[in-house]
Amino acid sequence: MKKRVAVIGGGASGLTAALMASEKCSVVVFEKQKKIGRKILITGNGRCNISNTGIDAARYHGNNTGFVNNVFAKFGLSETEDFFRSIGVPFIEEDDGKLFPASLQASLIPKVFEYELTARGVEIRLHRRIEKIIPQKKGFRVITAGMEEEEFDSVILSCGSCAYPQTGASRGGYELAHSLGHTVYEPFPVITPINVPLKALHRLQGIKWDCGVKVYLGRKVIAESCDELLFTAYGISGPAALKVSRRVNEGVLKNEIPEIAIDFFPQLSRSELRDMVVLLLEDKKKKLGFSLLGILKERVPDVLLSVSGIDPEKKNVLVTEKEIETILSALKSFRIEPGKSRGFDEAVAAAGGVSVDEIDPATMESKLVKGVYITGELLDIDGDSGGFNLQFAWSTGAIAGMSQLSE
């Protein structure tokens, strides 16, 4: 008789695990939503940023990031590309090493998985939320919220994190893992927009600018990025903000409030920028705010000057050397303090989760409960924006699925 495997969760890691395990096992996927792969649909702005050529442990975070090296040594980017090619999904590369399906359609991925799983006899049960997993002398009893009960030889927990609940994400996976004795680090939102209480900044809503962003805790830089920054009605967003949001949210959570410094001209030195500003101020009859429109978008000069204590209406002839230095500081290191986190509703991923010290990276099997495997975002590993979280999901799911074949 074939080994019976329950996969809890029909997201990226669960679908990969199910497909791998289906080679020799009887597999059932339990998904609480009406469709599989709902979160996959929103990745990469609907194009599915499937991975990244820059996969490296340094792009991941958690209490034991060494775990990542062991995972990728077993199933890394090369194996992932081979796997997707085998099911008809070749990759293309875009900026910053981001990899996408050649079709540039996230909707393709769940469809391909559904086709492959069905063809291999995997049963996909929708609208099934798992309430309990009860270890037996041999195997496990899996109980749904509707009180359906069934026994399996092994269970793969691939429930995902609680980030972006609009796709059905919840804390259910953490609760199941905890009920089995696992340590769960409290999750917090990552890859999010950032609240900034400074109301003057909100006047820049809708403006996009390629900026350098540094996050300081005291004098120490704890995160930095250089990319497009989007000013919003509540603060900042866009790739530059998302890339540093983890350290910002972590600091706010610990009540160690960091400071964010925005460099509007990361490509210029302060000296080069000074020459440019001095040139703009040569027409002594013009007003300062108007003059700075020569290098800044509308509204930006007024906001930066006002926050810096300089009147935008001031004539250039009256601008002092000290004020020029203040202007340069605002352009090269405009300091703002973040507010409360935007929360899981706007988070691409979640930090925290099941301690990886309790998981064998060679198999993804629990060290506490034999026959239980835990994968993907449910674990205390989160990656940077740009395909890193999906790669971790594919890899851990594949390892868990393949581990069913060797038992």
Nearest of 376, 254, 2 to residue 152 by alpha carbon = 2
What are the respective helix, strand and coil percentages of the chain, to the nearest 5? 40, 25, 35
Q: Within a 10 A sphere around the Cβ of 336, how many other Cβ atoms?
A: 18
Nearest of 401, 376, 389, 390 to residue 159 by alpha carbon = 376
SS3 352: strand
Q: What is the rounded end-to-end Cα distance, in angstroms, of the chain?
A: 13
* H/E stretch holding 181: none
Look at residue 297 in the predicted model and tell me its pLDDT.
96
Structure-block tokens of residue 127:
């609208």
CA-to-CA separations, 15 to 27, 182, 379, in angstroms, rounded: 11, 23, 16
Distance CA 35, CA 330 (A): 49
Contact partners, residue 39, CB within 8 Å, separation at least 6: 11, 12, 160, 164, 167, 168, 169
Instruction: Give CATH 3.50.50.60 domain extents, the chain.
Output: 4-189+349-406
- Helices and strands per DSSP (H, E), number in the chain: 12, 23
The DSSP annotation for 17-85 comes to HHHHHTTTSEEEEE-SSSSS-TTGGGGGGGT---EETT--GGGEESS-THHHHHHHHHS-HHHHHHHHH
174, β-bridge pairs? none
pTM of the model: 0.92
152 in Cβ contact with 159 (< 8 Å)? no
Write out the CATH class of domain 4-189+349-406: alpha beta
Instruction: Give CATH 2.40.30.10 domain extents, the chain.
Output: 193-342
Look at residue 168 in the predicted model and tell me its pLDDT.
87
Burial level of 370, CB count in 10 A (0-12/13-18/19+)? exposed
CA 370-9-33 angle, to 5 degrees, is 155
pLDDT in tens, the chain (407 residues): 899 999 999 999 999 999 999 999 999 999 999 999 999 998 888 999 999 999 999 999 999 999 999 999 999 999 999 999 999 999 999 998 999 999 999 999 999 999 999 999 999 999 999 999 999 999 999 999 999 999 999 999 999 999 999 988 999 999 999 999 999 999 999 999 999 999 999 999 999 999 999 999 999 999 999 999 999 999 999 999 999 999 999 999 999 999 999 999 999 999 999 999 999 999 999 999 999 999 999 999 999 999 999 999 999 999 999 999 999 999 999 999 999 999 999 999 999 999 999 999 999 999 999 999 999 999 999 999 999 999 999 999 999 999 999 86
151, β-bridge pairs? 141
Look at residue 190 in the predicted model and tell me its pLDDT.
96
SS3 375: coil
CATH for 193-342, options being 1.10.287.130, 3.30.499.10, 1.10.274.10, 2.40.30.10: 2.40.30.10
Buried b (16+ CB within 10 A) or exposed e, 128-167: bbbbebeeeeebbebebeeeeeeebbbbbbbbbbbbbeeb
